[in-house]
Amino acid sequence: MYAVSAVRTVHSASADDHEAPTTPPGFTGGVIDGATEAMVVWGNSTDNVTRQEHIRYELYLNGQFDGATIDPYPHQFSMYLTLGFVNRIEVYAVDEAGNRSAPATMTIDLRTP
């Protein structure tokens, strides 16, 4: 005779999930450690299916993919900017179904005055 185990809930990406997560809130940052390294931070996005701890964040610098993270809140990411340029930084939240939020954006101007 086998004992019945406790009910276990498993969450998986739904094939019917077509709703993107919310735009990452509170996106802010600035230059650190000299003239070209920047640190950016943001809050948790939410999604209709994917739990917060499973939302991936993708970062882009000047239109090019720079990295991704699933770090716990507060989310932060370090990147190297281009001198003499207005650098555009974007962060997207991506759920387990691959739906991508609208970007949170900022610019950091490293042009010489």
pTM: 0.84
How much is the CA Rg of the chain, to the nearest whole Å?
18
Tokens of 23: 């735009």
3-state secondary structure 8-54: CCCCCCCCCCCCCCCCCCCCEEEEECCCCEEEEEECCCCCCCCCHHH
What was the pLDDT predicted at 9? Answer: 56
pLDDT in the model for residue 74: 84
Q: Which domains are seen in the chain, by residue range? A: 28-109 (2.60.40.10)
Structural contact between residues 27 and 42, judged by C-beta atoms closer than 8 angstroms? yes
Across the chain, which has 113 residues, the per-10-residue mean pLDDT values are 61 75 96 89 96 95 95 89 95 97 97 79
